[in-house]
Structure 1
Amino acid sequence: MPRITEADLKKQIKNKSFSPVYLIYGSEQMFVKSYTKKLCEAVAGKNPSDFNYHTFSGDIDFQELAASLQIMPFMAERNCVVVTDIYFDNMVKDRLDTLKELTSRAWDGTVLIISMPTYVPSKNKTSFTALVKRVEKIGSVCCFEKINSQIIEKYVAKWANENGKLISHLNASKIISNVGDDLNLLKNEVNKIAAYAKGEEITDRDIDLLSTVNLEARTYDMADDVINGRGDKAFRKLDTLFCQREEPINILYALSSAYVDAYRMRVADECSVSKETVAKDFAYKNRAFVLNRARTSVSRTSTEALRKSLDVLVETDEKLKSVSVNQRFLIEQLISRLLLIAKEGRI
């Protein structure tokens, strides 16, 4: 069988028309986990018997796996064997050959499910590519890739609705900006905010009071303050980052990313290039929403000031990596220099 889509997998689960072997993996691990659970329940039932349900994980015993695959169902339609999070990247040849042999045939009465709910295999690894090809010949391979920001916003709205709350497009985007695009983290965050929000709709204030903010979002806020001359706010945010024990090099990288985004949008606007083209050319994917913010943030800053700022960021990066200095002092000095450049480059 060829690779299957999410819709194909849904149909197989609904109709109970199972392949003898499944391989479910991908970077969108919330889907990997949820669909593996749905598939297992469809094959073995919600409360399966130990006779017909066998699980393996990590560094597995292939002899035990082979024995489980040969067990005939006892008072059930099928025997279900689930293998999760096999570490392919450094698998030795003998073990890989055994696994390929076990997955290259249909076992009477058995459905074999190989799933990666917490581990994303390297696609360019020969070991994993070989497994994919083997499973494709006899079973079904379903890969859940990262989804785009518009679809993520729909999920945020769906989860809010499940909690009895409404949420606007802008506020859904704000939560994503704060938390990032990991669906597991986002779902937990929406559930938390919805539980404490008092009104019928999740408001901007609810998000400000309750939302967890990741390093990228906090640093983007700080960059916005620096670019727009709000030095007191910028240094307060920097103090907060240090109090939370963020590494100076990580702060620098996140700050540099914010300035690079801003510079790309400035050059794109000057050359009449659309935001969508920038997002595609630089592979922003689910981070495309940061480009609107970057464009707005530097609306009153000259292009030359942005270039000077990038030079200072590169210089600071070199010092952090090559000179024995007080790293906190170096980052504080960087913020001061960026504030001065922004003031001189105001338009």
Structure 2
Amino acid sequence: MAELNMLSLKKLLREGTVSGTFFVYGSEAFLKRRACELIGEQCMPDEFPEFNYEKLDGQRCGVDAVITALGQFPQFTDKRYVIVDDFSFSGVSDDDINYICEYIEKPTEGCTTVFRYMAEGSHNDGGFRKVCECCKKFGYTMKLETPDRNGLCDILCEEAEITGARLKPSDALYLVDRCGNNLSALVGELSKLAAFAGRKNITREMIDTLCSASLESKVFNISKAILRGRADEAFRLTENLLLQRTAPNEIISIMSGEFVDLYRAKAAKAAGESSAQVAKAFEANYKGKGFRVDNAFRDCGNYSQALLAKYIRLINRTAVDLNSSKTDKNIRLEQLISELCLAGRELR
């Protein structure tokens, strides 16, 4: 019948009673859980749930249990709800897959079934694809990936409203920048903020006080200090990370990615390319992280390609040193910060 996203699912559920089969997969665990909650709010039986709600562990149950669940009618009520988690079609016979597809094409009256795949990419075999295509034709499919930066902010504002608190879009962006783009982690941070704020606005001061900055955010602040010529701040932030026992290799890896983002954006701008074109050209790097390209396009204007290239060479050389010598890694990282700050003075 349809491919759905979260918005179209909510619209579908608002329009009336839904039944049939849903196939929910993709990279974003929080959205997959939320989709099942929304479907369950309408399709979960109000009466006799012990007979009419079933959740199968697809990694443990056999195909017979799945086929039996699909074929059962509601008992003593008009609704039945079944969730099948992470069922692997590997090794399932063609006949059994065809049986499952027959139930998807002509679902048992009053029965709603959700095939949900929480483990991304672990079930992408021929049977998986066939059942997914069958659901696309006769039921509903939902491929739920990590939203872009604006999508994350929309979800956070909506989640805040559900709790009774209020979160401005600009402050939602600030929360994403501080805590990263892991939606489950963001919602966890939002829960703390909402509990503290009550029915008031969630402010940036609350975010700074209550939310732990992600490692990516902390390294970004070091890079920002270097780019702005603030050597003392860059050294202070680096020392703080080392005192927290953050591995120098991790810091350098993240920092390298940030400067590579800026270099790609600078080169793309010079060639008349857009951020969307860069994200598509380097899809493996930016899947679900398109905001990194947008941020790089926003920030790269003040720096020359020569300077950014110099930064990348220095970082790569340090990465090689850390992996191939017995040099004290903390000292070598601090040397890198010094070299980057000096390069900025020379080439800015």
User: For residue 73 of structure 2, what is the aligned residue in structure 1?
Assistant: 72
User: For residue 102 of structure 1, what is the aligned residue in structure 2?
Assistant: 100
User: For residue 38 of structure 1, what is the aligned residue in structure 2?
Assistant: 38
How far does residue 212 in structure 1 lie from its aligned partner after superposition? 1.9
Is the CA contact 2:45–2:52 (under 8 Å) kept in the aligned structure 1?
no
Q: Secondary structure of 2:3's partner?
A: coil
Is the CA contact 1:25–1:144 (under 8 Å) kept in the aligned structure 2?
yes
User: For residue 315 of structure 2, what is the aligned residue in structure 1?
Assistant: 313
Matches of residues 170-181 of structure 1 in structure 2 within 5 Å?
A: 170-181=170-181
User: For residue 328 of structure 1, what is the aligned residue in structure 2?
Assistant: 330
Matches of residues 1-347 of structure 1 in structure 2 within 5 Å?
A: 1-14=1-14, 15-19=16-20, 21-45=21-45, 48-62=48-62, 63-86=64-87, 88=88, 92-94=90-92, 98-99=96-97, 101-105=99-103, 106=106, 108-109=108-109, 110-116=111-117, 118-121=118-121, 125-163=125-163, 165-197=165-197, 200-271=200-271, 273-275=273-275, 278-279=278-279, 281-283=281-283, 284=286, 287-290=289-292, 294=296, 301-346=303-348
What are the Cα deviations for residues 86-113 of structure 1, in whole angstroms up to 9, with x where unaligned?
3x4xx63236864553343245344322
Number of positions where the alignment pairs a residue of Structure 1 with one of Structure 2: 341
Aligned partners of 1:46, 1:225: CA distance in 2, in Å?
57
Is the CA contact 1:104–1:134 (under 8 Å) kept in the aligned structure 2?
no
Q: Secondary structure of 1:104's partner?
A: helix
How far does residue 234 in structure 1 lie from its aligned partner after superposition? 1.9
TM-score, with length taken from structure 1? 0.82
Q: Using the TM superposition, name which of 200-209 and 212-221 deviates more.
A: 200-209
What are the Cα deviations for residues 132-180 of structure 1, in whole angstroms up to 9, with x where unaligned?
1233344322222333322322333333444555544432211111222
Equivalent residue letter for 1:92: S
Change over 3 Å in CA distance of 1:4–1:17 after alignment to 2: same
How far does residue 12 in structure 1 lie from its aligned partner after superposition? 4.6
How far does residue 286 in structure 1 lie from its aligned partner after superposition? 5.4
Is the CA contact 1:148–1:285 (under 8 Å) kept in the aligned structure 2?
no
Aligned partners of 1:127, 1:323: CA distance in 2, in Å?
49
Q: Secondary structure of 2:229's partner?
A: coil
Any unmatched runs of 5+ in structure 2?
Answer: none
> How high is the sequence identity, in percent, across the aligned residues?
25
Any unmatched runs of 5+ in structure 1?
Answer: none
Change over 3 Å in CA distance of 1:345–1:297 after alignment to 2: farther
Change over 3 Å in CA distance of 1:266–1:38 after alignment to 2: closer
Change over 3 Å in CA distance of 1:162–1:36 after alignment to 2: closer
Q: Secondary structure of 2:217's partner?
A: helix
How far does residue 23 in structure 1 lie from its aligned partner after superposition? 0.9
Q: Using the TM superposition, name which of 238-247 and 330-339 deviates more.
A: 238-247
Q: Using the TM superposition, name which of 107-116 and 214-223 deviates more.
A: 107-116
Change over 3 Å in CA distance of 1:240–1:16 after alignment to 2: same
Is the CA contact 1:156–1:187 (under 8 Å) kept in the aligned structure 2?
yes
Is the CA contact 2:44–2:80 (under 8 Å) kept in the aligned structure 1?
yes
Aligned partners of 1:108, 1:270: CA distance in 2, in Å?
59
Aligned partners of 2:58, 2:234: CA distance in 1, in Å?
45
Aligned partners of 1:272, 1:227: CA distance in 2, in Å?
24
How far does residue 276 in structure 1 lie from its aligned partner after superposition? 5.4
Equivalent residue letter for 1:82: I
How far does residue 280 in structure 1 lie from its aligned partner after superposition? 5.2
How far does residue 274 in structure 1 lie from its aligned partner after superposition? 4.9
Q: Secondary structure of 1:51's partner?
A: helix
Aligned partners of 1:72, 1:31: CA distance in 2, in Å?
29
Aligned partners of 1:336, 1:168: CA distance in 2, in Å?
39
Aligned partners of 2:94, 2:334: CA distance in 1, in Å?
51
